[in-house]
Amino acid sequence: MSTETTGAGTGAGGDSRIHNIGYRSYDGPRLGRAYARRSLYSQSLRGAFGLGRSAKSKVLPMLLVAVMCLVAAILVAVAMATPASTKLPIEYTSYAVYLQAVIGLFIAAQAPQSVSRDLRFKSVPLYFSRPIERLDYVVAKYAAMASALFVLTGLPLVILYGGALLAKFDFSDQTAWFGQGLVSVALLSLLFAGLGLVLAALTPRRGFGVAAVIAVLTISYGAVSTVQAIAWSTGSESAVTWLGLFSPITLIDGVQTAFLGATSAFPGGEGPGAAAGAVYLLVVLALVAGSYAVLMRRYRRVGL
């Protein structure tokens, strides 16, 4: 209990009064860093889908989730309506590649929402007051964005898998391919989340962050695919493989072609072999680790 003494005079005959202003020290449970980290993760994950925010904020992310799931449902319906069909019209590992524009739009919209607003309104120092630290903030934001992308890309695969089982396709084949698809989208989620957050964290301006993410994740795919097609048509087949290193989605395509038995979307359908695939995998892992390191450095500068 704290007290405050005020005096009407400074001499021995001065009037003195003691006021009880009711301050008490906190004696409840102290939940610590782990609780703060989990709370920030949960809040960021919910925010990626507009949950806990205004109705307007829910429109775009929910619409994109609906598009991803609707396309999968249509493919399942086509497979079930075709009596002679023994497999789905699209491979599990190809789904994210074909719908990469939707994925790119999701990360372009939600990565700046996750980090740019904290920078713009200078609320980062409030996070870094006790007990949360810079490591906790970066890990929570990165994990939340990767989890949101995994939900976005993994949910349609679940629909495809469920539809394949309802259509009584071969259980063992479908389960193996479904597992390969989940590994692929997990790697894609880590890569896209890291790149998206880095680009968004470079500026407090949300519009600039959106434009940067779209340019790197979506426009780069169109540019690389065009140059690959030109190289293929001019007989430079070997160049097609190495050009794939310059776009995030073609990096994922190369890894899953080399190691997950996927069919490549590269011109001619010939993706990288095992040796080139190892290079692709190393580049993906380097980009994931590099994104984390850049985020840590970024928040070292703006934290306090």
Residues of the chain by 3-state class (helix, strand, coil), percent to 5: 75, 5, 25
Across residues 136-148, what is the average pLDDT? 94
Under the banding of pLDDT at 50, 70 and 90, the label for residue 125 is: low
Q: Report the pLDDT value the prediction gives residue 26, as an integer from 0 to 100.
A: 64
Tell me which of 67 and 202 has the higher pLDDT.
Answer: 67
Count of Cβ atoms closer than 10 Å to residue 172 Cβ: 7
pLDDT tens digits for 207-261?
A: 888 899 999 988 999 999 999 999 999 988 889 999 999 999 999 999 999 999 8
Of 1-5, 187-191, 283-287, minimum mean pLDDT range:
1-5
Q: Report the pLDDT value the prediction gives residue 302, as an integer from 0 to 100.
A: 65
- Report residue 239 as tokens: 């160049």
Of 131-140, 147-156, 269-278, minimum mean pLDDT range:
131-140
Residue 250 CA to residue 145 CA, distance in Å, equals: 21
Of 171-175, 223-227, 269-273, 288-292, minimum mean pLDDT range:
269-273
Residue 88 CA to residue 299 CA, distance in Å, equals: 45
pTM for this entry: 0.86
Residues of the chain above pLDDT 90, percent = 61
SS3 at position 3? strand
Across residues 52-66, what is the average pLDDT? 92
Across residues 269-296, what is the average pLDDT? 94
Across residues 5-9, what is the average pLDDT? 46
Under the banding of pLDDT at 50, 70 and 90, the label for residue 114 is: confident
pLDDT over 80 at 119, yes or no: no
SS3 at position 19? strand
Query: To the nearest whole number, what is the mean pLDDT of the chain?
Result: 87
Rg of the chain (C-alpha set) = 26
